[in-house]
């Protein structure tokens, strides 16, 4: 079984500051890991994913995440926050080479202060 824990239900950063959203996972099999973003009144948009290979993955809008097996973590970062980054972010895990449904964390709301 898989599970995801997102530390911090709400994160607030200043425009131009580093964004760090934390995600820890639990999986009995090699995981596939994802970050999704949800803007108000919209569905989920894939930011980035880790399947196999390089542990540092780059996504859209300047976001990146690093898979650390020893720490069971997949934290999302962006060097410089922009006002348009304000949204809800979800970390998700899937197992068996992606052949199991996504299990999502509860989400982290990112606020960006001008």
Q: Where on the chain is the footprint of another protein (CB under 8 A)?
A: 4, 9, 32, 34, 36, 41-46, 49, 51, 90, 92, 94, 97-107
Q: In the complex with another protein, which residue's Cβ is closer, 62 or 107?
A: 107
Q: In the complex with another protein, which residue's Cβ is closer, 14 or 96?
A: 96
CA–CA dist 23, 114 (Å, integer)? 26
Nearest to 78 by CA among 88, 90, 66: 66
In the complex, the smallest distance separating the C-beta of residue 109 from another protein, rounded to whole angstroms, is: 9
In the complex, the smallest distance separating the C-beta of residue 17 from another protein, rounded to whole angstroms, is: 25
Nearest to 64 by CA among 72, 114, 54: 54
Q: Which residue has the tokens 């196999």?
A: 52
Q: In the complex with another protein, which residue's Cβ is closer, 17 or 72?
A: 72
């Amino acid at each position: 079984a898989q599970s995801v824990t997102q530390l911090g239900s709400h994160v607030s950063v200043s425009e131009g500051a580093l964004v760090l959203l934390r995600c820890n996972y639990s999986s009995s099999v090699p995981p596939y890991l994802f970050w999704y973003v949800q803007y108000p009144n919209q569905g989920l948009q894939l930011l980035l994913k880790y399947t196999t290979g390089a542990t540092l993955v780059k996504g859209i809008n300047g976001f990146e995440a690093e898979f650390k097996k020893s720490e069971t973590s997949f934290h999302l970062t962006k060097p410089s926050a922009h006002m348009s980054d304000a949204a809800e972010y979800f970390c998700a895990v899937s197992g068996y080479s992606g052949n199991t449904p996504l299990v999502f964390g509860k989400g982290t709301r990112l606020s960006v202060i001008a």
